[in-house]
Structure 1
Amino acid sequence: MTRRLNVLVVEDHAPLREELVEHLRAGGHTVIGLESPLEIDRLIVHEPIELVVLDLNLPFEDGLSVARRLRAALPDLGIIALSGRIRSEQKAEAYADGVDIYLAKPASPDELSAAIQSLGRRLPRHEDASWHLDVERQVLRNPQGQSVSLTGGEVALLQAMAMAPERVLDSAEIERLDISSKRGLESSISRLRHKLTPLAGDAPCIKVLWGRGYQLLLKLSIA
């Protein structure tokens, strides 16, 4: 049975990107195409992407760097690399950086479809157990539909954790949030935990990682 997947194609060559997107859509997949990696982080938290087709020669950020970030943030994500880099050591580096399947360019749309089906059979199937953060209304909803109102600072904290690698808010990210002190951050996290606990039940929401920062343990989508 063919599995239909939510696929992201990141390819800066427009004709090739359009060809791949159209071919995969014709095969029944839900497909989004991007020309650069700049929008990947925003898109990943908004869309239930299961598999990424990633050109390794991209503007603004090397594809291997993108693969490392995606693998760290989303361990279950499928990653297929497309590249003209054909030396064995280059392929080995890609696999070490989190790529599942490496296809040398030019790869035909049919070959890509076969690779996606092969990888798709091994990807975990997840029920929609996501929490949903409505940034504009500053409301967080759990998978059962219960909701809680948040402050602007609490929304910013959740967004930062959700978009960070492994959902870990480290010291560098904390500085970007402009929280004036460690005590201020601890108070913000404590208030946020207090709001989330009634909606989470016994499930932990935010974990302290001593020496690193804070980790969001919820699967969160942002709208």
Structure 2
Amino acid sequence: MDKTVLIVEDEDSIRKFVKINLDRAGFIVKEASTGEEGIDIARQGEIDIVVLDIMMPGIDGYEVCKILRKEFPDIGIIMLTAKSQDIDKIMGLEYGTDDYLTKPFNPMELVLRVKSLARRLDVADDDDHSILVIKPFKIDKYSRKFFKEDQEIELTPTEYQIAKLFMENPGRAFKRDEILNIVWGYDFVGDSKIVDVNIRRLRSKIELDSSNPTYIETVWGIGYRWKS
């Protein structure tokens, strides 16, 4: 792995423990103990993935996520939370997180999540220069850019992969577990709600009325499909 991971975590013991495991997995690792420091490091460049704690003094993880997602739409973000309630997990996803993990967590699970996200970010292994068009949308696979009516729409890495999957298979209904396996990877161990939240975010960016979607249809009892 040649990806650089930034750990933003105020608890020294957790931060060091995470760093050791990511080092062993072959990642380049940088550390920050506050949200402000994490933003400064990200602005210096060369950060691919951020492992971000929610509860920190000063700027909390939600605010850091909002800032990073606005300034660096292509960066991968995994949020760590000490809270187990669904609302906290969903809030993190709504702010633009690609994934979440609840403390206490198995360090190998975190490594697997980071590896899964790294695969979604990896352009080097994708030598496809083709353009995929389903009007009014267009995907440039090489640059990983998404357009509607020739206007670029900023998507997170996960949103891009979902849009690409749908546009490559118009009319096909995908179960949530299928989307998890294809986009997140077979080693992903989270729950399928992460699919619903990412679909909701994607709809908010591409639909005229996300509550009455035209392009991404819900197939009740199954999952979702791109209307052909």
TM-score interval, normalised by the smaller of the two chains: 0.5 to 0.7
**Greater RCO between the two (CA within 8 Å, min separation 6)?**
1
Q: Which amino acid in 2 is paired with 1:54?
A: L
TM-aligned CA deviation for residue 41 of structure 1: 2.8
Query: Which residue number corresponds to residue 143 of structure 2?
Result: none
SS state at 2:121 partner = coil
Which of the two has higher C-alpha Rg?
1
Query: Which residue number corresponds to residue 85 of structure 1?
Result: 83
TM-aligned CA deviation for residue 42 of structure 1: 2.2
Q: 1:72 aligns with which of 70, 73, 79?
A: 70
TM-aligned CA deviation for residue 23 of structure 1: 1.3
Distance 2:5 2:45 in 1: 10
Q: 1:118 aligns with which of 103, 116, 131?
A: 116
Query: Which residue number corresponds to residue 20 of structure 1?
Result: 18
Query: Which residue number corresponds to residue 151 of structure 1?
Result: none
Q: Deviations over 1:154-187 (max 9, x none)?
A: xxxxxxxxxxxx9xxxxxxxxxxxxxxxxxxxxx
TM-aligned CA deviation for residue 99 of structure 1: 0.7
Q: 1:103 aligns with which of 101, 104, 126?
A: 101
Aligned pairs (5 A) from 1:103-182: 103-125=101-123
TM-aligned CA deviation for residue 124 of structure 1: 4.3
Q: When the two structures are superposed, what TM-score results if normalisation uses the length of structure 1?
A: 0.53
Query: Which residue number corresponds to residue 49 of structure 1?
Result: 47
Query: Which residue number corresponds to residue 58 of structure 1?
Result: 56
Distance 1:124 1:28 in 2: 15
Q: Which amino acid in 1 is paired with 2:87?
A: E
Q: How many residue pairs are counted as aligned between the two chains?
A: 125
Q: Deviations over 1:76-113 (max 9, x none)?
A: 11000111121112211111001111100011210110
Q: Which amino acid in 2 is paired with 1:41?
A: I
Please tell me whether the aligned partners of residues 39 and 64 of structure 2 are also in contact (alpha carbons under 8 angstroms): no
Please tell me whether the aligned partners of residues 82 and 107 of structure 1 are also in contact (alpha carbons under 8 angstroms): no
Q: Which amino acid in 1 is paired with 2:50?
A: V
SS state at 1:116 partner = helix
Q: 1:32 aligns with which of 25, 30, 45?
A: 30
Query: Which residue number corresponds to residue 7 of structure 1?
Result: 5
Overall identity of the aligned pairs, in %: 34
Structure 2, unaligned runs of 5 or more = 125-153, 155-228
Runs of 4+ off more than 4 Å = none
TM-aligned CA deviation for residue 114 of structure 1: 0.3
Structure 1 vs Structure 2 CA RMSD: 1.6
TM-aligned CA deviation for residue 125 of structure 1: 3.0
Structure 1, unaligned runs of 5 or more = 127-165, 167-223
Distance 2:15 2:97 in 1: 19
Distance 2:40 2:112 in 1: 28
SS state at 1:54 partner = strand
SS state at 2:120 partner = coil
Query: Which residue number corresponds to residue 199 of structure 1?
Result: none
Q: When the two structures are superposed, what TM-score results if normalisation uses the length of structure 2?
A: 0.52
Please tell me whether the aligned partners of residues 4 and 29 of structure 2 are also in contact (alpha carbons under 8 angstroms): yes
Q: Deviations over 1:193-221 (max 9, x none)?
A: xxxxxxxxxxxxxxxxxxxxxxxxxxxxx
